[in-house]
Structure 1
Amino acid sequence: MTTAEIEPAQDQRWGRVKARLRSELGEDVYSSWFARIMFESSKASVVQLSVPTPFIRQWVQNHYGDRIMQLWEKETSEVRRIEFVVRSAVRQPCSADRPSPATPKARAAAAPRTTTPAPSMTTPAPRVADDAGSALDGSPLDPRFTLDSFEEGPSNMLALAAAKRVAMAPSGEKAAFNPLFIHGAVGYGKTHLLQAVAAEARERAPRRVLYLTAEHFMYRFVVALRNQTALAFKELLRDIDLLLIDDLQFLHGGKVQEEFCHTLNSLVDGARQVVIAADRPAGELDGLEQRVRSRIGGGLSVEIGAPDLDLRTKILTRRIAAQTAAFPELEFPEEVLDFVARSVTTNGRDLDGAINRLVAHNQLTGAAITLQMAEGALKDLLRAREGRRPKIEDIQRVVAQHFNVSKADLVSARRTRAVVRPRQVAMYLAKSLTPRSLPEIGRRFGGRDHTTVLHAVRKIDSLIGSDGSLKEDVETLKRLLDA
């Protein structure tokens, strides 16, 4: 096989490897790390793939290099090594290595991809030059993550409003909420929101905007220390107009946290906007230094909660529309959409995974997407949901904390209003969220009769319809127990 024949074959193999990675890892991970990796060349037993930034090269090599090699070996046993190179560093092959370009087509095939940039598939990361002429790259932005594509619901309404205020602020305007801290469990949309703010802010005004994951921040700081360019790195960060830090829970190390705290103080004191996201409230980030938590606490803290049924349905409808655009022949029955929305209640990523899995089954096997197929394809997600059912002890603990009473009060004989209502709510939740019988629930609440539990369940069920405050309490408790 000639070189001209080998290159397209290897390029097609890389396409199939990427398709498997997309199916295994999900759309979010794939878009962040693999969408912009290109097949570059193949020589003997070595395949060369190009990436847009050194950070992506480092991350993919460390976290996914072995898996990519395994998938490529399934395509062909000839490849023994895969090399990752940064596209800006890919050089034109020398004349001794390059086949004679007898035709314009051959010359085009021999040219490196850097000569003609592909149409932008991502929001460009901001770059700020340091005194050595290098640049600080932001973490990759997913072009799908925009404010328009962020589905709004009761659980994220406040966070979205605050994010829009930050993103659409005119250049030079004093920061409204600083720092803005957004927290919520995995898959609730924090990354989507931060990347959408970064993209929108850069489009609207000539501001210096930088989006970084905490891990990327640590990586760049450690590299700066190693290269003795830490001072330049600090100056670059403190010259940013809008800094967005994602996944703060992964920020570790005394020196790294100290530098982050100095950067945070400098930007906030200088009226520069900072937006931070984490998977839990700042006060619960035990690995974070107290002074960082204190500074974050001085800004606006907003929680993103679990998506309700309506929001899950809207998210699924948008995901299905995107899949239908890619596969026009795809048919996704309404009853399957409703089944997924009601069954996969955890987070947006699981919803993405459910849709990706159903579409993969359809495309790879030709099987129609039906309710029966969905039940089989998603059975592990459904089992995981059942396995996460709270225990009565969990319900008692969470209810006691919420209503500021003790767990002992809930199982005691006390009948004051301050204790009776929380006890009834706990019994109601125990009946709603666990498979336990009324007599067993009664025994766990101080040996009460099953009729007492039934009365409590009916009482709370009735009050929820007329007492908005109680309804909100119950919904909040359910979200806490489902987290």
Structure 2
Amino acid sequence: MGYFEVENELYEKWDEILENMRVNFDISDPAFNTFIKILKVHSISGKNLTILIDDAKVGSNKSFIEKRYSTFLQVTIEEMTNIKYDITYISKNEINTTPVETYTNNSLPNKDHPFISSKYTFDNFVVGDNNDYAHAASLKVAEEPGDIYNPLFIYGGAGLGKTHLMHAIGNYIIDRDNTQRVVYVTSESFVNEIVEAIRDKKGDGSNSMQEFRNKYRNVDVLLIDDIQFIIGKETMQQEFFHTFNHLYESQKQIVISSDKHPATMKTLEERLRSRFEMGLTVDIKPPTYETRMAILRRKVQEENLSIDDSILDFIASNVSSNIRELQGAITKVIAFSKLRHNDITMDLAKQALSDMIAPDKKKEITIDYIIETVADHFNISTNDLLSSKRSSNISHPRQICMYLCCELTNNTLDVIKKHLNRKDHSTIIHGRDNIKKLLEDPDANQKVVKDIDILIKKINPQ
């Protein structure tokens, strides 16, 4: 479902969303009528959702509504749309006293731009093997905008952190120099604005299309998210091509995100493809087990909670596709606990996530998962495990990893060799057989037996 359809669904089904929130989180009638029923959709831009508190008297309690109900609303919307929105609230009083912004060559939004979310910074971006290159490139662009890596093209699947990095770039630049004109926009909003500008025929003879061009061509930094949305739309590609050229020739920084590498976008105009590829292209992969655990631990720390690592391991092991889903899972567990006034236990976590994790779903055992689990168990990095280092604290876990890959998967030695970064499969056989010999004398090698037993239970819980 595209963002336009989701936006329409939010407007059309808003009452249903609020009702689901009431039922799922057992909100009393007085609380619902006082604090929830008055919430309306004010505006949507990409994954940024602004909620209007449509009651001047209650609007003064905005902080209470945010603290008490925001997590419940975010979880409910995500369940119904599969999108985790960054939600902000605005009161009726604020709308009445906030002047309407206009855009001219010298009056573009910067520090107070509503679509640069202060929640996303480099400080709270969890760096792992899956995203360290993209993080480093983004930070370099933020430090020297327009000077190096222009354009910066970030690609990867949904919910992996592309939008976080784009907002982090914007926040970093604005914090260092609040005169910088930084604009973040989704390509859907960009397209929508073009359509509106083409349709809008002003009575005073002013040119809406020229206003649109002024808005986007007189910036210092343009952050455009999900560029794949303009693919196949000739007019939109043409307009973005000219905007890109104008900014690039003026040495203004351009950062673009997409779900695909430019080379694989079949209906992208060749002239745009060549421009996307003339800077630096970086990818973000799905988070490793180590990164998933780090993300969960950070969330727990932010919430000032104490959650046993075994519970975090349960979540990290079962929710692995993307960060947004992972954050949604831990948010749901925390909300479930608060609602029921219960401590977070394994049983509560399983109950809270029952719709996300099938109870008897058998998790696929992959070589990568074994690598992550072994590295985590021995408190070493996956990079060290896959390296050529020969110290015993690295080589011994590596041989255990070889043994488990052979015993717990149906992969060939050749496949295992490639995943473990070995030159030939004889190394895999040697490592596997070394561990087998140790296991033949369990009394003499109790630690090895214990390590193998713990790892098998983690990798393949029954």
- TM-score (normalizing by structure 1): 0.57
User: d(CA) in 2 for partners of 1:200 and 1:284?
Assistant: 31
User: d(CA) in 2 for partners of 1:19 and 1:248?
Assistant: 31
Q: Select the residue among 280, 298, 307 that pairs with 1:300.
A: 280
Is the CA contact (8 Å cut-off) linking 2:39 and 2:52 kept in structure 1?
no
Q: Structure 1's 10 and 139: CA in aligned 2 closer, same or farther, altered over 3 A? A: farther
User: d(CA) in 2 for partners of 1:254 and 1:208?
Assistant: 28
Q: Residue 356 of structure 1 corresponds to which residue in structure 2?
A: 331
Q: Residue 140 of structure 1 corresponds to which residue in structure 2?
A: 115
1:150 CA displacement: 0.7
Q: Residue 436 of structure 2 corresponds to which residue in structure 1?
A: none
Is the CA contact (8 Å cut-off) linking 1:152 and 1:311 kept in structure 2?
yes
Q: Select the residue among 208, 211, 214 that pairs with 1:229.
A: 208
User: d(CA) in 1 for partners of 2:307 and 2:335?
Assistant: 13
Q: Residue 374 of structure 1 corresponds to which residue in structure 2?
A: 349
1:186 pairs with 2:165: no
Q: Structure 1's 241 and 128: CA in aligned 2 closer, same or farther, altered over 3 A? A: farther
Q: Residue 38 of structure 1 corresponds to which residue in structure 2?
A: 53
Is the CA contact (8 Å cut-off) linking 1:194 and 1:275 kept in structure 2?
yes
Whichever residue aligns with residue 119 of structure 2, its letter is R
Q: Structure 1's 249 and 356: CA in aligned 2 closer, same or farther, altered over 3 A? A: same
1:300 CA displacement: 0.6
Q: Residue 201 of structure 1 corresponds to which residue in structure 2?
A: 173
User: d(CA) in 1 for partners of 2:272 and 2:161?
Assistant: 23
Is the CA contact (8 Å cut-off) linking 1:128 and 1:135 kept in structure 2?
no
Q: Residue 243 of structure 2 corresponds to which residue in structure 1?
A: 263
Match of 1:382, SS state, is: coil
1:277 pairs with 2:252: no
User: d(CA) in 2 for partners of 1:349 and 1:366?
Assistant: 25
Match of 2:159, SS state, is: coil
Q: Structure 1's 312 and 19: CA in aligned 2 closer, same or farther, altered over 3 A? A: farther
Q: Residue 214 of structure 1 corresponds to which residue in structure 2?
A: 187
1:188 CA displacement: 0.8
Q: Residue 249 of structure 1 corresponds to which residue in structure 2?
A: 228
My pick for the range that moved more, 257-266 or 335-344, is: 335-344
Whichever residue aligns with residue 194 of structure 1, its letter is M
Q: Structure 1's 30 and 285: CA in aligned 2 closer, same or farther, altered over 3 A? A: closer
The gaps in structure 2 that reach 5 residues or longer are 1-28, 63-72, 81-88, 201-206, 367-400, 429-462
Whichever residue aligns with residue 129 of structure 1, its letter is Y
Q: Structure 1's 457 and 244: CA in aligned 2 closer, same or farther, altered over 3 A? A: closer
Whichever residue aligns with residue 187 of structure 2, its letter is A
Q: Which has the higher contact order (CA 8 A, sep 6+)?
A: 2
User: d(CA) in 1 for partners of 2:234 and 2:276?
Assistant: 17
Is the CA contact (8 Å cut-off) linking 1:156 and 1:303 kept in structure 2?
yes
User: d(CA) in 1 for partners of 2:258 and 2:34?
Assistant: 34
User: d(CA) in 1 for partners of 2:259 and 2:34?
Assistant: 34
User: d(CA) in 1 for partners of 2:199 and 2:142?
Assistant: 35
Q: Residue 168 of structure 1 corresponds to which residue in structure 2?
A: 143
What CA RMSD, in Å, does the superposition of the two structures yield over aligned residues? 4.7
Is the CA contact (8 Å cut-off) linking 1:188 and 1:305 kept in structure 2?
yes
User: d(CA) in 1 for partners of 2:239 and 2:103?
Assistant: 20
Whichever residue aligns with residue 293 of structure 2, its letter is T
Q: Structure 1's 251 and 207: CA in aligned 2 closer, same or farther, altered over 3 A? A: same
Q: Residue 159 of structure 1 corresponds to which residue in structure 2?
A: 134
User: d(CA) in 2 for partners of 1:360 and 1:20?
Assistant: 22
Match of 2:54, SS state, is: strand
User: d(CA) in 1 for partners of 2:38 and 2:127?
Assistant: 31
Is the CA contact (8 Å cut-off) linking 2:108 and 2:181 kept in structure 1?
no
Whichever residue aligns with residue 40 of structure 1, its letter is D
1:374 CA displacement: 2.1
User: d(CA) in 2 for partners of 1:460 and 1:376?
Assistant: 39
Is the CA contact (8 Å cut-off) linking 2:103 and 2:214 kept in structure 1?
no
My pick for the range that moved more, 134-143 or 340-349, is: 134-143
- TM-score (normalizing by structure 2): 0.59
User: d(CA) in 2 for partners of 1:11 and 1:31?
Assistant: 27
Q: Residue 336 of structure 1 corresponds to which residue in structure 2?
A: 311
1:345 pairs with 2:320: yes
